Amino acid sequence: MIEVEVQNFQSVERVSLRIDGFTAIAGRSNIGKSSIVRALQCALTGAAGTDFVRHGPSCERRLKGNKKCKCQTTVTIKLSSMELTWEKGDAVNQYTVIQEGVKKVYTAVDRGTPEFLKPQFQPTKIGSSNELVQVSEQFSPIFLLNQSGPAVADVLSDVARLDNINDALRLANKDRKEAVATRKVREGDIAQLREDLGQYEGLEDAASRVPEVEFRHEALQTLQGDVDLLEDFISRTINLGAELSALRAATKPELPDFKALGDAGDELVLVTDFVDRILERAPVIRQLQGVEKVELPDFDPVTEAEVGFDRLEGWVAQLDKLDRVVAGLETVTEVQELDSGDLAQKAKQLEWLAGRSARLETLTVEQDRLTAELEKAVKAEQAVLEEYAELGVCPTCSQNIEGEHQHG
């Protein structure tokens, strides 16, 4: 598929068309068919002069009568592998070629097919003349209307070869692109391999010493086995020596005096019993060390306080009953006359309760005093325990102060 665009050539102002294989332009006379063909021929052969340039209404030649102007002919041909633009006029004569993404501009090109177009548009010898087989006018030799049989055969053969050449060029271009892509990948692989290979530089000496190291390692393993056997032999020898020494000492045993052993056993029992009793009393003795006189507290006030507490609980229960009675009397609107004898008896009971309450307060004070004394005793015991903790060793059994002791 070839796309063609022609601008400002003879009678053609602008026209675009597509060429797919062998294409013929047909139509009525004087509509520009031959102009399109000649425009393509001029573009592919670098036509000289500017007589074919079409001048528009704003051309300086028409308006001012100048000999030169800025009008120009432009022919663009787009192939699958190349884009060609030819520009020709009084002020310009150049080709612009874009191929594989690369743009090149050729200026002041001489007449004839340019060198960069010959691979694709090389004129072909037909009979006695060279013809551009891609573009041909009506009744030209390309249509073979005025040629002999052999000439027609030669032309058909050349056209077939040209198609093969174009196919070969297209396939070669495809292969070249694939080869370039493969080369880039392989260059990246080579660079990575070189980088990886750099990590092993300087290891030739180490590699050469590997067999020697392996041989020494095997020798060391063998020697280690021998050392293990020797250590086991030495250990068994020491054990046997100790057993032999014990057997030598037991060859002539001396029998003990059983009567003396019995007496010693009885004495040991007495001593053990004495030690046990001493150990039982050791904590009490340690607590009493440094105490010259011990005064026992008077337990009667404590007993009385306990009795008082019991009575107090009874009084509290009675007061609860009285509170409930008073709560019931609050709703009473009418009170009957009470017996004065009962009131006197209740007054005596209240006096007795008041006395018992005063006694209870006295017992409470006594209880507070006893509680204070008990706290002092506990603090004194704690001080003694802290002194023992600072010593670190029990003075009775010489054991560590922490844990259980033989004397309890």
The token pair at 352 is: 């007795």
Note the pLDDT of residue 288.
Answer: 67
Q: Does residue 334 lie within any of the structural domains?
A: no
Q: Does residue 223 lie within any of the structural domains?
A: yes
Place 245 in a pLDDT band, splitting at 50, 70 and 90.
Answer: confident
Find, among 6, 7, 9, 108, the residue nearest to 53 by Cα. Answer: 9
If you compute the radius of gyration of the chain from its CA atoms, what whole number of angstroms results?
67
**Domain limits at 267?**
257-293
Q: Does residue 352 lie within any of the structural domains?
A: yes
In this predicted structure, the answer to whether residue 31 has a pLDDT above a threshold of 80 is yes
Structure confidence by residue, pLDDT tens digits, 77-120? 998 888 999 999 988 999 999 988 899 999 878 888 888 887 77
Note the pLDDT of residue 165.
Answer: 78
Find, among 120, 90, 43, 97, the residue nearest to 35 by Cα. Answer: 43
Place 406 in a pLDDT band, splitting at 50, 70 and 90.
Answer: low
Q: Cα(107)–Cα(94) distance, rounded to whole angstroms?
A: 4
Comparison of pLDDT for 186 and 205, the residue scoring more: 186
Same domain, 75 and 166: no
Q: Does residue 264 lie within any of the structural domains?
A: yes
What is the average pLDDT value for the chain, to the nearest integer? Answer: 76
Q: Cα(250)–Cα(287) distance, rounded to whole angstroms?
A: 52
Find, among 7, 118, 11, the residue nearest to 72 by Cα. Answer: 7
DSSP state of 129: E
Same domain, 27 and 60: yes
Sign of CA dihedral 181, 84, 130, 15: positive
The pTM of the full predicted model, rounded to 2 decimals, is 0.36
Note the pLDDT of residue 343.
Answer: 62
Q: Does residue 327 lie within any of the structural domains?
A: no
Q: Cα(247)–Cα(341) distance, rounded to whole angstroms?
A: 109
Q: Does residue 124 lie within any of the structural domains?
A: yes
Structure confidence by residue, pLDDT tens digits, 303-362? 676 676 777 777 777 777 777 766 766 665 565 555 556 666 766 777 777 677 677 777
Query: CATH code at 77?
Result: 3.40.50
Find, among 364, 340, 344, the residue nearest to 352 by Cα. Answer: 344
Q: Which DSSP string do the residues of 56-115 spell out, in sequence order?
A: -TT-HHHHH--S--S-EEEEEEE-SS-EEEEEEESS-EEEEEEETTEEEEEESPPSS--G
Name the percent of the chain lying above pLDDT 90.
Answer: 9
Q: Average the pLDDT over 13-27 and give the result.
A: 85
Place 250 in a pLDDT band, splitting at 50, 70 and 90.
Answer: low
Q: Give the number of domains in the chain.
A: 5
Residues in the chain: 408
